[in-house]
């Protein structure tokens, strides 16, 4: 288990008022930044979804973000999904909101009807997934954003088919070529996407990348623009199972404005909402 999990109780549900206010301010600032970037790129208001990247944050902090307007969350580690999901589901059910795959029953038990998308918070896995952890996340997460090989896709597909469910996947592409990053090679992305699209038990929903870790704006934007062109080529191919390959999950605290200008549909933001991470 990762060391920071020994130092912080991630299942904690109670945070003080000033911390909750700090998080609410963070959410509002990020929503403003997204609206500004949409406007300056000439894009529809609301065309970019904000995913709160919640690694190292506890249940109370995540609930403060949701109460301030977050509609989608993403975790990096299966272990964190397991620790936080029960508390999140119970607290959200109290508000008539379902979380991820498993939320509907909890909401029904709390006496609320599930009606409309606003009452459901999608739960994504955005970090690397080892195949022995697939079973941990499948009952909870709607979409796995970090699929970067046929082998991993096949293992997820097999599990999903066994459970009679369909799991959303994004193909992660290593646009920057940085060795520390996961993701498939950009030159393989179209072929992999078409093969993943054809697998039962999976819905290919789009592509994901992590921006280049450099200061140079042009380099960062080139990676995002290339991911967009790749997505467009996959859609244009008309290959089986690629019709819903629409999402571009790109842009984080440092580079979300560039990503939105280059066509991002999901920005994954942690630091700008919750503050600097104390661990990792």
- Count of residues touching ligand PLP (by CB under 6 A): 13
What distance in Å separates the CA atoms of residue 246 and residue 115, rounded to the nearest whole number?
Answer: 24
Q: Which of 73, 126, 196, 207 binds ligand PLP (CB under 6 A)?
A: 126
Please list the alpha-helical segments (H only) found in 95-202.
Answer: 103-109, 134-137, 150-163, 189-197
CB of 77 to ligand PLP, least distance (A): 10
Minimum CB separation of residue 88 from ligand PLP in Å reads 18
Coil/strand/helix, residue 147: strand
Distance between CA atoms of residues 144 and 166, nearest Å:
11
Residue 256 and residue 264 in contact, taking contact as beta carbons nearer than 8 Å: yes
CA nearest neighbour of 254 among 217, 227, 223, 218: 217
Restricting to residues 225-264, name those near ligand PLP by CB under 6 A: 252-253
| Of 25-33, 34-42, 96-104, 270-278: span binding ligand PLP (CB under 6 A) | 270-278
We find the least distance from the C-beta atom of residue 80 to ligand PLP, in angstroms, to be: 11
- Does position 53 interact with ligand PLP (CB under 6 A)? The reply is yes
Cα–Cα distance between 182 and 239 in angstroms, integer?
A: 25
Q: Cβ closer to ligand PLP: 194 or 253?
A: 253
Per the DSSP assignment, residues forming a β-bridge with 204 are 169
- For the CB of residue 84, give the shortest distance to ligand PLP in the complex, in Å: 15
Instruction: Identify any residues that bridge with 184 across adjacent strands, giving them in sequence order.
Output: 173
Query: Does 82 interact with ligand PLP (rule: CB under 6 A)?
Result: no
Taking alpha carbons only, the member of 248, 245, 272 closest to residue 261 is 248
| 223: contact with ligand PLP by CB under 6 A | no
Q: Binding ligand PLP by CB under 6 A: which of 70, 73, 76, 184? A: 76
- Rule CB under 6 A: which of 194-213 touch ligand PLP? 210
Query: Can you give the binding site for ligand PLP, defined by CB under 6 A?
Result: 53, 55, 76, 126-127, 210, 252-253, 268-272
């Amino acid at each position: 288990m990762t060391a920071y999990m020994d130092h912080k109780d991630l299942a904690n549900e109670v945070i003080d008022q000033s911390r909750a206010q700090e998080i609410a301010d963070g959410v509002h600032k990020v929503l403003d930044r997204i609206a500004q970037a949409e406007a300056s790129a000439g894009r529809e208001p609301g065309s970019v979804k904000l995913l709160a990247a919640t690694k190292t944050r506890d249940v109370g902090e995540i609930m403060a973000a949701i109460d301030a307007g977050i509609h989608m969350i993403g975790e990096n580690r299966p272990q964190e999904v397991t620790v936080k999901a029960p508390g999140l589901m119970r607290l959200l059910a109290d508000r008539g909101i379902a979380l991820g795959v498993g939320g509907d029953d909890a909401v029904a038990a709390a006496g609320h009807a599930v009606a409309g998308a606003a009452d459901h918070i999608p739960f994504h896995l955005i970090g690397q997934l080892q195949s022995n952890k697939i079973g941990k996340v499948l009952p909870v997460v709607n979409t796995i954003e970090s699929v970067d090989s046929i082998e991993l896709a096949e293992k997820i597909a097999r599990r999903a088919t066994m459970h009679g469910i369909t799991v959303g996947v994004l193909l992660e592409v290593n646009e920057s070529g940085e060795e520390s990053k996961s993701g498939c090679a950009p030159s393989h992305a179209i072929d992999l996407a078409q093969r993943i699209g054809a697998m039962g038990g999976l819905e290919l929903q789009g592509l994901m990348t992590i921006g280049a870790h450099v200061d140079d704006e042009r380099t960062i934007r080139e990676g995002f623009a290339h991911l967009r062109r790749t997505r467009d080529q996959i859609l244009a191919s008309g290959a089986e199972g690629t019709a819903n390959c629409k999402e571009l999950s790109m842009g984080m605290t440092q580079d979300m404005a560039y990503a939105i200008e280059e066509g991002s549909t999901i920005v994954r933001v942690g630091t700008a909402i919750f503050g600097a991470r104390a661990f990792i």
